[in-house]
Chain A
Amino acid sequence: MIKRTDKALRAGVLLVLSLGVIGPLGAGLAQTAAASFGYMPALGAHEFGLAAYRSLFDLPGVWTSVRLSLITGGTATLLSLMLAVGFCAMAHDRMSDHAAARWLTPFLAAPHAAMAIGLAFVLAPSGWIARLLSPVLGLDRPPDLTLVNDPMGIALILGLMVKEVPFLLLVMLAALTQIPVRAHMAAGRALGYGRGLVWIKIIAPQVWPLIRLPVMVVLAYALSTVEMGLILGPSTPPVFAVFVVRLLNAPDLNMILPGSAGAVVQAILVAGAFAMLWLGERLSRWAGLWWLRAGGRGSSTEPLLRLGSGAVMALFVLGALAMTALAIWSVAWRWPWPAVLPETWSMRAWVGSAAGWRPALANTLILAFVTAALSLMLAIAWLEGEDRGRMARARWAEALIYLPLLVPQIAFLYGLNVLYLRIGISGGMLATIWAQTLFVFPYVMIALSDPWRALDPRLDRVAASLGAKPWRRLFTVKLPLLLTPILAAIAIGVAVSVAQYLPTLFMGAGRVATLTTEAVTLAAGSDRRITGVHAALQAGLPFAVYALAFVLPAVLYRNRAAMKGGIR
């Protein structure tokens, strides 16, 4: 029997979510939309109209910029998805989940901005690869080639892929644990289908519903990235998100109006891309059925798969090089062209900038753990509420949770800040925690919900039949059993919190300095060594937490073989 109190938990969480997440987001969007239609009293603009949109589309290069965003974001997402599927097909049965998670962790932990800075150094004509080649090719000066910031956005696509392929692999591997892959594979192979085709025809359609939301998150990020677009993307014109941020930051304050129009257009672009995704899904469902019935065995997919896995490995190598390069820069003094390694080494970058990074590290730690803990409590309350109300996972509710990840940040952060100012909490730790939690909570949910729902319900029932009340069952049965995924969720939450740039900057009024805000500010400066220090700390912190998430269960449950496992 379901009691009213059982439903209350879920209702409470829903209330917190709508007040804490949906409300601010909607208010922020409304503020931006109002400004885009010409209403901004602070600027003396009171007349509703389309003037802001007109002046936005009169700006030179705006269409090129939109096209660039669509091409780079779309290509990066599509390629990442294809490569991730291909790699899973190739490596899934040869690799334990543990090993995979260990491999992926550093790439997930490294923040986008740091990865982009490292990649730029690896790829540039004066960069690491060119320096290795310069003696062979006899170069005394770096070649005048556009390898980074290229007008086609290839460097940006590459950078996005280095970050997104590991993320998609992680969610895909998690999804695969819910599908009897080995049985399907055996049956498919027995019927004469090639490995690749079994994946595309049988396994992928089952995985897709489980990874659709994460893919949408990737797509939304790729279309609206500011940091990566700035560092790796084309200039004159840049990708649209950078274009909009430049308008919002123009010395002429009146540009905020077309800037807001741009923020709305950015949101429409993402919505349009989602529509394309939905259309693509419909089309492939229709075409796929026909294709399945045609019954081609595709035994020749093997070379293609190998190419795909090769590409994934190349991306991993590139990412690893980028992170290594930054780590070396942080202990370099002079490292001019064409030296492959620094001429002089020094710890001065670490010691000299300590006054800068120590308080930033402290702020980052506080924010990371508070937001991760808050998000975790909320996630547990949500999932437990689901259990107690015996409710199935509601799609609409899930979409609500992911909303902050699907709406481009620039479309609502400015408006959100005005709202926080009205409440009187902007510019402090509280506002920053709130804003970050909007983005941390969805990831914690992604990490926790599948293992939670996969928990054997009989354990809970046994405890209940022994007379344990719901709270006791939660604390003595469920949570201890779920320790490993809970720690993993905390680790992901910490990583997400550490990486937040725009929310921290806007809501903290710049006063809450974190490793990421410092790193991005310094990346605007020219000192790769100090950037290296911050990027190393920025990547190192989540990494340490991930490591802890591996070690802790193994130590705590050293006498309980079945509960040891690492992160799935």
Chain B
Amino acid sequence: MRKPFQAALALAFLATGALADDWQTTLDAARGQTVYFNAWGGDARTNAFIAWASEQTRARHGVTIRQVKLTDTAEAVTRVLSEKAAGQDRNGSVDLIWINGPNFLSMKNQGLLFGPFVTDLPNARYLDLSPGSANTVDFTTPVAGMESPWRLARFVFTYDSARMDAPPASMAGFVEWAAAHPGRMTHPDPSNFMGATFLKQALLELTPDPALLQQPATDDSFATASAPLWVWYDALRPNLWRGGKVLPENESIQQQLLNDGEIDIAMSFDPASAAAAIAQGLLPDTARVFVPQGGTIGNVSFVAIPFNAAHREGAMVVANFLLDPETQAHMQNIEVLGSYSVLDPARLDRATRKAFERLPSSPALPTRTQLGPTLLEPHASWMTRLTQAWAERYTRE
């Protein structure tokens, strides 16, 4: 049975309760809860980090985190949707989701999220939440407090410096490079997040008016904005690995191809991934990171709480723990996760800033200057359209 009215009432009640800044009430309610954290499970480092986080939250707040390892974030979204379909408005199986972009847009539009809750988290005071800042928009969709940031992602390319000396300086340069080295580069299938990001990155550089990409795409704006992209891709494609007819499923498989020596360039949404892969024996010691000169797409990874989460308070405690400056410094440690902090350095005290500066480094880890400027994600509709248009053009009929 569905009780939208009661649910809304309960939400309203909870929101006012939290507005009273009763964090202690949340902490008390959370004690003893087990939070089912639905997060992509293909990265062993992230899995290990979540296991560490569970130890911490258990010791501090009596909250245990169980990671539900996903092969695709959409799995968790579909699960919440089927719970809604079955009328299960309480005691849902998903407590916390690592989410962003189109999946967030979907959940927000379908009313599958709990919130707003971000400003109720005590550690939100370290975040830059001023309008328009990276933490308040997700693929141009206003976050509106419905998801809480936890790590910073930047699109980067990985290559083996022993096999390749001059990586292309721009996306346009890839055409020339691939012509000189046929069959030595590829990109993940655009039905995958990373494959779509590769196309978006090229679109941002090649499109005549990048500002257009911050608006929802229309038939007209898409046709004009994407025209140069297809010219570029048609020139690139014949020289891709396997003639562009076979594409790796995701960036991990692509990294494996780099390790197997089948290709020379891989890509990642994590500047530290090359250094971490070396440490794990997954890439040769000579692997390095490069970015095109104009900078690359960056975004913030968020965590969100479904509307029917069984352990909402526990999930809030975990979201708050992820924003703790100590946690963020631990996360930025190259030996742990190596992903950049989402906190605003200006809001941290001196000792904490020092802790960030003292973190170990690695030759495969680019500095913030080397990474260049961060480009904004286009509106989510561009990604959907790009993926569709790509499929229409390049799927064998």
**Interface residues in chain A, defined as those with a beta carbon under 8 Å from any beta carbon in chain B:** 40-43, 59-61, 63-64, 124-126, 141-142, 144, 146, 149-151, 230, 234-237, 246, 248-253, 256, 333-334, 336-338, 344, 346, 352-353, 355-356, 414, 417-419, 421-422, 424, 426-427, 505, 509-511, 513, 517-518, 520-522, 524-530
Q: List 12 A-B contacts (CB under 8 A).
A: A142-B260, A144-B183, A146-B242, A236-B246, A414-B82, A426-B93, A509-B68, A510-B70, A513-B68, A518-B41, A524-B41, A526-B253
- Complex partner residue of A61 from B71, B105, B255, B395, CB under 8 angstroms: B395
B36 within 8 A of partner (CB): yes
Beyond A141-B261, A252-B102, A518-B41, list 12 extra A-B contacts (CB 8 Å). A41-B85, A42-B110, A64-B397, A151-B396, A250-B191, A253-B78, A253-B110, A337-B261, A426-B93, A520-B71, A524-B250, A527-B252
B394 within 8 A of partner (CB): yes
Which residue of chain A is the closest to B246 with respect to CB atoms?
A: A149
C-alpha spacing A483/B75, complex, angstroms = 43
C-alpha spacing A337/B257, complex, angstroms = 10
B103 within 8 A of partner (CB): yes
- Complex partner residue of B68 from A41, A355, A510, CB under 8 angstroms: A510
B247 within 8 A of partner (CB): yes
C-alpha spacing A418/B85, complex, angstroms = 7
Q: A355-B51, A418-B86 are in contact. Are A524 and B259 (CB under 8 A)?
A: no
By a CB distance below 8 angstroms, the chain A residues around B141 are none
Q: Mark B180-193, 1 if CB is under 8 A from A, else 0.
A: 00110000010100
Which residue of chain A is the closest to B106 with respect to CB atoms?
A: A253
- Complex partner residue of B392 from A60, A334, A424, A525, CB under 8 angstroms: A60
By a CB distance below 8 angstroms, the chain A residues around B36 are 511
By a CB distance below 8 angstroms, the chain B residues around A142 are 260-262
- Complex partner residue of B79 from A151, A509, A527, A529, CB under 8 angstroms: A509
Contact A518 B69 (CB under 8 A): yes
**8 tightest Cβ-Cβ pairs between the two chains A and B:** A61-B395, A421-B86, A251-B102, A525-B42, A42-B85, A526-B252, A144-B183, A337-B261
C-alpha spacing A115/B54, complex, angstroms = 34
B81 within 8 A of partner (CB): yes
Q: Which of B6-50 contact A (CB under 8 A)?
A: 36, 38, 41-44, 47
By a CB distance below 8 angstroms, the chain B residues around A353 are 44
Q: Which of B150-180 contact A (CB under 8 A)?
A: none
By a CB distance below 8 angstroms, the chain B residues around A63 are 397
Contact A251 B77 (CB under 8 A): yes
Q: Mark B376-390, 1 if CB is under 8 A from A, else 0.
A: 000000001000000
**Chain A residues touching B, majority SS:** loop
By a CB distance below 8 angstroms, the chain B residues around A256 are 78, 81
By a CB distance below 8 angstroms, the chain A residues around B73 are 251
By a CB distance below 8 angstroms, the chain A residues around B103 are 251
C-alpha spacing A424/B89, complex, angstroms = 12
Nearest-Cβ distance from residue A508 to partner chain B, whole angstroms:
9
Contact B247 A235 (CB under 8 A): yes
Contact A246 B242 (CB under 8 A): no
C-alpha spacing A270/B157, complex, angstroms = 43
Contact B241 A151 (CB under 8 A): no
C-alpha spacing A235/B282, complex, angstroms = 25
B145 within 8 A of partner (CB): no
By a CB distance below 8 angstroms, the chain A residues around B191 are 246, 250
B101 within 8 A of partner (CB): yes
B316 within 8 A of partner (CB): no
Contact A524 B252 (CB under 8 A): yes
By a CB distance below 8 angstroms, the chain B residues around A414 are 78, 82
Contact A42 B81 (CB under 8 A): yes
C-alpha spacing A528/B281, complex, angstroms = 11
Contact B246 A235 (CB under 8 A): yes
Contact A521 B260 (CB under 8 A): no
Contact A251 B74 (CB under 8 A): yes
- Complex partner residue of B43 from A249, A344, A525, CB under 8 angstroms: A525
By a CB distance below 8 angstroms, the chain A residues around B394 are 236
Nearest-Cβ distance from residue B191 to partner chain A, whole angstroms:
6
Nearest-Cβ distance from residue A522 to partner chain B, whole angstroms:
7
By a CB distance below 8 angstroms, the chain B residues around A41 are 85
C-alpha spacing A163/B248, complex, angstroms = 24
Q: A418-B86, A525-B252 are in contact. Are A336 and B284 (CB under 8 A)?
A: yes
Contact B395 A334 (CB under 8 A): no
Which residue of chain B is the closest to A530 with respect to CB atoms?
A: B44
C-alpha spacing A523/B132, complex, angstroms = 38
Contact B81 A522 (CB under 8 A): no
- Complex partner residue of A338 from B261, B281, B395, CB under 8 angstroms: B261
Contact A43 B81 (CB under 8 A): yes
By a CB distance below 8 angstroms, the chain B residues around A42 are 81-82, 84-85, 110
Contact A146 B246 (CB under 8 A): yes
By a CB distance below 8 angstroms, the chain A residues around B259 are 336, 526
Q: A60-B397, A421-B83 are in contact. Are A251 and B70 (CB under 8 A)?
A: no
Nearest-Cβ distance from residue B309 to partner chain A, whole angstroms:
13
Which residue of chain B is the closest to A424 with respect to CB atoms?
A: B88
Nearest-Cβ distance from residue B168 to partner chain A, whole angstroms:
19
Nearest-Cβ distance from residue A358 to partner chain B, whole angstroms:
12
C-alpha spacing A418/B74, complex, angstroms = 17
C-alpha spacing A292/B132, complex, angstroms = 82
- Complex partner residue of B391 from A61, A521, A526, CB under 8 angstroms: A61
Q: A246-B191, A251-B106 are in contact. Are A511 and B68 (CB under 8 A)?
A: yes
B347 within 8 A of partner (CB): no
Which residue of chain A is the closest to B163 with respect to CB atoms?
A: A141
Nearest-Cβ distance from residue A216 to partner chain B, whole angstroms:
29
By a CB distance below 8 angstroms, the chain A residues around B182 are 144
Which residue of chain B is the closest to A148 with respect to CB atoms?
A: B246
Which residue of chain B is the closest to A423 with respect to CB atoms?
A: B86
Nearest-Cβ distance from residue B161 to partner chain A, whole angstroms:
15
- Complex partner residue of A526 from B74, B242, B255, CB under 8 angstroms: B255
C-alpha spacing A201/B61, complex, angstroms = 74
C-alpha spacing A505/B74, complex, angstroms = 13
Contact A524 B51 (CB under 8 A): no
C-alpha spacing A235/B85, complex, angstroms = 32
C-alpha spacing A252/B101, complex, angstroms = 11
B326 within 8 A of partner (CB): no
Nearest-Cβ distance from residue B73 to partner chain A, whole angstroms:
8
Q: A43-B81, A60-B392, A336-B260 are in contact. Are A422 and B86 (CB under 8 A)?
A: yes
Nearest-Cβ distance from residue B295 to partner chain A, whole angstroms:
25
Which residue of chain A is the closest to B101 with respect to CB atoms?
A: A251
Contact A510 B262 (CB under 8 A): no
Nearest-Cβ distance from residue B336 to partner chain A, whole angstroms:
14
By a CB distance below 8 angstroms, the chain B residues around A338 are 261
C-alpha spacing A529/B73, complex, angstroms = 24
C-alpha spacing A344/B281, complex, angstroms = 9
Nearest-Cβ distance from residue B378 to partner chain A, whole angstroms:
15
Contact A521 B82 (CB under 8 A): no
Contact A250 B74 (CB under 8 A): yes
Which residue of chain B is the closest to A414 with respect to CB atoms?
A: B82
Q: Which of B234-253 contact A (CB under 8 A)?
A: 241-242, 245-247, 249-250, 252-253
Contact B76 A510 (CB under 8 A): yes
Contact B260 A124 (CB under 8 A): yes
By a CB distance below 8 angstroms, the chain A residues around B353 are none
C-alpha spacing A251/B105, complex, angstroms = 9
By a CB distance below 8 angstroms, the chain A residues around B75 are 249, 505, 510
Which residue of chain A is the closest to B261 with respect to CB atoms?
A: A337
By a CB distance below 8 angstroms, the chain A residues around B214 are none
- Complex partner residue of B93 from A43, A419, A509, CB under 8 angstroms: A509
Q: A146-B246, A418-B86 are in contact. Are A524 and B71 (CB under 8 A)?
A: yes
C-alpha spacing A248/B76, complex, angstroms = 12
B87 within 8 A of partner (CB): yes
By a CB distance below 8 angstroms, the chain A residues around B396 are 61, 64, 151, 236-237
Nearest-Cβ distance from residue A105 to partner chain B, whole angstroms:
30
Contact B44 A510 (CB under 8 A): no
Nearest-Cβ distance from residue B304 to partner chain A, whole angstroms:
14
Nearest-Cβ distance from residue B302 to partner chain A, whole angstroms:
14
By a CB distance below 8 angstroms, the chain B residues around A334 are 281, 284
C-alpha spacing A60/B190, complex, angstroms = 14
